[in-house]
Structure 1
Amino acid sequence: MRDIRTFYINGEWVSPAAANDLEVINPSTEEPCAVISLGDQADTDAAVAAARAAFEPWMLTPLATRRDLIASILEVYKARAEDMAEAISLEMGAPIDMARTQQVGAGSWHIDGFLKALDTFQFERDFTATEKTLYEPIGVVGMITPWNWPMNQIALKAIPAIAVGCTTILKPSEIAPLSGHLFAEIVHEAGAPAGVFNLVNGDGPGVGSQLSAHPDVDMISFTGSTRAGKLISKSAADTLKRVSLELGGKGANIVFDDADGDAIKRGVIRCMNNTGQSCNAPTRMLVQEDRYAQAVDEAVAMANKIATGPAAEGGKHIGPVVSETQWNKIQGLIQAGIDEGARLVAGGPGRPEGTNRGYFVRPTIFADVTNDMTIAREEIFGPVLAMMPFKDEEQAIAIANDTPYGLTNYIQSQDTDRIRRVARRLRSGMVAANGGTFAQGSPFGGYKASGNGREGGVWGLEEFCEVKAVAGWAAE
């Protein structure tokens, strides 16, 4: 069992101020695989003090030097890629092949994207002949990251913050902390100055709340549930710090009757990827009436082909969900779908056949869902798809927008004008059509209960900057 009870503070691995051990559970086996310590106020204060002391020297460090550090982090990250894949697979249940390609790959992709964005980012911009607009680092940043895409989210926060001149404290998820610990090793090996990056393990009510309320933290960047995002915002309000939130989602996948032949299959796979544990998953499939019955049959056939299995095994299967708490929540929502009258057409309650250990969930599809049902309103965060019919474009848009969330919506149609028309009316931060993927550096974020910031590329760099107007700037 791995022992990672130390924290990374001011360039050193240090013991916690007080012992408070927590076992990390392998979701494939339900057995402990590591032990960490949960930090307390003294640990948080030490990390914040280190970041505060390092801020001005790092802010004044030449951009070229900061860029070199990011490039070095990417180089070390690639060298440690297999270690990272094994850590993520072990801690949160991503099948090892998926961990190598998607989970680890997301981190390197974003780091590379920020290097490219940094090369063209203008920290000084002419407003008039005698006025400059300056983009300066906001200061000390507390970063609270989730367990479902650990490197994706750590890279989207730590890299741009460090690149623009901020100093940072990371609190990774206590459920899946191994990857965060390894990332700290990578940053250290890459040569980050003491205090520029710090890591303290802890839970939300502990270190998370302490960072959110800390008077010497200038910004909190959080990814996680909408409920937690509200609590963090309230905690941060007393110190008027900036709060950037990437929260939950309940994406609608609108399948029009002229959608291509792979639209249903593509939608099911996208929903089930990462065992459904993605905030931007298309978990509500809206299908035009003429095609609905056939679509249900196609979705069932696809779901029945999706295998489940241990994360350590190679293959294209999906793994377990991350924890017993998540498993119980998903089971309760599946039962709610049955109780509220949705038609269960694939999967259902309990573990997959032949499985009696691990937090495995059957790939599940409900048909004839209405948008007032619990499974259509709440983010399930598991491999569960809700299908519902619609009559026309107006009804599809109304159903898609009838949700507290607004992260990602999807459109399937061969009509270019309709895609553009519907995309403009969908109330979400992102819209993807016909299997389209977002480019490197694209702004990631949502509307409404899905959050209020943007991550990635130029937008991700700007997120960690203050804007300063300077009048009377001497002409150069």
Structure 2
Amino acid sequence: MRLPDATRFYIGGEWVSPEGKDFGDVINPATEQVVAKVAYGNQNDVDKAVAAAKAAFPSFARTSIAERKELLSAINAKLIERNEDIAFAIHQEMGAPMALARRAQAPSGPQHFEQILKELESYSFSEKLGTTTVRHEPIGVVSMITPWNWPMNQIATKVAPAIAAGCTMVLKPSELAPLDAIILAKIIDEVGLPEGVFNLVHGDGIGVGAPLTAHKDVDMVSFTGSTRAGIAISEAAAPTIKRVSLELGGKSAAIICPSAPIEKAVASTIKDLMLNSGQSCNARTRILVHKDDYVKAAKVAAETAGGMTCSASDTADLGPIANNAQYRKVRDLIQIGIEEGATLLAGGCQSALTPENGYFIPATVFGGVTPDMTIAREEIFGPVATLMTYESIEEAIKIANNSEYGLSGAVWAGTTEEAGKIASELRTGMVHLNGAGLDSAAPFGGFKMSGNGREWGKHGLEEFLEVKSVYGANQ
């Protein structure tokens, strides 16, 4: 299967060559082989893309909801049609096993386009308050910067609501995983989205991300990535007072109550956090169990992790870490965990389960972890679980909340009512009760250093809308 060409940009409805001559490698992390070249843009490329988006905005903002729905439906149909191509691109660019890429990574695009289409069926862009008509209008030109871990998912959560709102945009996907974005751009070109509404520029944070963030003609920045980068983006955007929506890091906790089915809760939590080789910002990597349940929980956690396959196989439970820099970071943090006195219950860098080639780290579990340890505080962003104990539910809540992050969390208890009471005490944007999964209609985002703003569904749509009060329009 042929991979898309990442050496050109999509600007103003045309595929164009970059201004500069800088190119990077797209590396398959399972083989450490170069599978494609990606062009690195610069300020001039960004200026052209933003100018195209700015020129297209007035007319696109005036399009009807029916017209936008037709475009969104056409894009969605093509995404479904090209699921295998998108899955293969993601498999090659960031290493997701084909089974995962096929059933979860690639389909996440249609998932969010379909949800936005549902929202447009009932969302009111105008409401009456007193004697005033309040209008919800497109915010304008949006810079979108997306990561490498769930590439199509993060792109779709931005592009779909932006189109629905009537915005125009410039997308900079991760330079480490740019291939699926090219397929989306080709689909957008095929369905006839007006020229300049969607623009694609490849590059790194310095050459493209920074100028996109600070550009005077950009009205909003939507960023998903590290908290460190989110802080830098907020600072760069501040002089132009543009809206900044951030979906950042996490160090989420799963509280397993004594009343919960311990074996099921621990095994399910381990499997969930290991999905995508642990490279999910909302992974519940801190597993909190009552001290009396620790021995049983440690046994289940070790057995569950030890039974997970880690290889380049299409059906492996875990594929490689997506890039060399992240691979080194995860390995370093595992070593720090050992040096700080945590007990390695499963996995680890020297595991016999680790393939010789590629950036592979098997499912790893640490026991005896205390809140002061580095692996209990820092986001590892890899297949590493930390098992911790508490003596009371109050202490468990305190441990869970004792983090600079506040993205997600989980509570397992004997009843939903009991779990819900604990969830109300957690300072996180999302909480999963007794194994409940994600819901594309519900807002995705976090508290504290995990970001601001929300993605997905109605709340994701509203991120791209400004509010205008028209006084006297309802008299």
TM-score normalised to structure 1 length: 0.97
Which amino acid in structure 1 is aligned with residue 401 of structure 2? N
How far residue 353 of structure 1 moved from its aligned partner, in angstroms, is 3.8
CA distance in 1, matches of 2:148, 2:62: 34
AA paired with 2:166?
G
Task: Name the residue aligned to 1:295.
Answer: 297
Q: 1:309 aligns with which of 308, 311, 319?
A: 311
Choose 1-10 or 420-429, whichever is displaced more: 1-10
Distance of aligned partners of 1:39 and 1:352 in 2 relative to their CA distance in 1, 3 Å threshold = farther
- After TM superposition, give the deviation of residue 415 of structure 1 in Å: 3.1
Equivalent position of 1:464 in the other structure: 464
Aligned residue among 25, 46, 49 for 1:47: 49
1:291 Cα deviation from its structure 2 partner: 1.1
Where structure 2 has 5 or more consecutive residues not aligned to the other structure, the ranges are: none
What residue number does 1:224 align with? 225
The answer to whether the Cα contact below 8 Å between 1:351 and 1:360 also exists between their aligned partners in 2 is no
- Matches for 1:398-417 after TM superposition, within 5 Å: 398-417=398-417
Q: Within 5 A, what are the aligned runs for 1:280-429?
A: 280-310=282-312, 313-350=313-350, 352-353=352-353, 355-429=355-429
After superposition, the C-alpha distances for 1:115-146 in whole angstroms (9 at most, x for unaligned) are 00011111000112x31110000000000000
Matches of 2:329 and 2:437, distance apart in 1: 30
Q: Secondary structure at the match of 2:431?
A: strand
- What amino acid is aligned across from residue 22 of structure 1 in structure 2? G
Q: CA deviation at 1:4?
A: 1.9
Go from structure 1 to structure 2 and tell me whether the alpha carbon gap of 1:11 and 1:224 turns closer, same or farther (over 3 Å shift).
Answer: same
| Matched residue, 2:128 | 126
Residue in structure 1 matching 2:106, options 91, 104, 108: 104
Distance 2:163 2:17 in 1: 25
Where do residues 240-251 of structure 1 align in structure 2 (5 Å cutoff)? 240-251=241-252
Following TM superposition, by how much is the alpha carbon of 1:174 offset from its aligned partner in structure 2, in angstroms?
0.3
Asked if the contact 1:76/1:189 (under 8 Å) is kept, the reply is no
Secondary structure of the structure 2 residue equivalent to 1:238: helix
For the aligned residues, what is the CA RMSD?
1.1
Map of 1:262 onto structure 2: 264
Q: Deviations over 1:403-460 (max 9, x none)?
A: 0000001001113332121111100000001110132311000000100011111101
Distance 1:351 1:137 in 2: 52
Percent identity for Structure 1 against Structure 2: 50
Q: Deviations over 1:202-232 (max 9, x none)?
A: 1111100000000000000000000000000
| CA shift for structure 1 position 474 | 4.9
Q: Choose from 65, 83, 86 the match for 2:85.
A: 83
The aligned residue for residue 157 of structure 1 is: 158
Q: SS of the counterpart of 1:13?
A: strand
Count how many residue pairs are aligned between Structure 1 and Structure 2. Answer: 472
Q: Deviations over 1:322-371 (max 9, x none)?
A: 11111100010001101111111111124654621100012111001011
2:208 matches 1:207: yes
Output one character per residue of 1:61-108: Cα deviation in whole Å (capped at 9) or x when no partner: 111101110011001111111100000011001100110111112111
CA distance in 1, matches of 2:235, 2:352: 41
Is the contact made by 2:311 and 2:354 (CA closer than 8 Å) also made in structure 1? no
- What letter corresponds to residue 305 of structure 1 in structure 2? G
SS in 1 for 2:228: helix
The residue type equivalent to 2:458 in the other structure is: V
- Structure 1 residues 122, 67: closer, same or farther in 2, change over 3 A? same
- The separation in 2 between residues aligned to 1:442 and 1:69, in whole angstroms, is 23
Residue 5 of structure 1: how far off its partner (Å): 0.2
Contact 2:404-2:448 within 8 A present in 1 as well: yes
Paired with 1:94 and 1:351, the residues of 2 have a C-alpha distance of 20
Residue type matched to 2:407 in 1?
L
Aligned to 2:445: 445
1:352 touches 1:360 (CA, 8 Å); kept in 2? no
Residue 145 of structure 1 is matched in structure 2 by 146
Give, in whole Å, the separation in 1 of the partners of 2:63 and 2:112.
23
Q: Which residue of 1 aligns with 2:16?
A: 14
- Equivalent residue letter for 2:231: K
Is 1:115 matched up with 2:109?
no
Q: Is the Cα contact below 8 Å between 2:310 and 2:354 reproduced in 1?
A: no
Structure 1 distance, partners of 2:394, 2:458, is 35
Deviation at 1:316, TM superposition (A): 4.1
Moved more, 14-23 or 50-59: 14-23
Map of 1:176 onto structure 2? 177
CA distance in 2, matches of 1:440, 1:37: 33
Q: Using the alignment, how far apart are the partners of 1:106 and 1:258 within structure 2? A: 34
C-alpha distance in structure 1 between counterparts of 2:201 and 2:59, whole Å:
22
- 1:95 aligns with 97
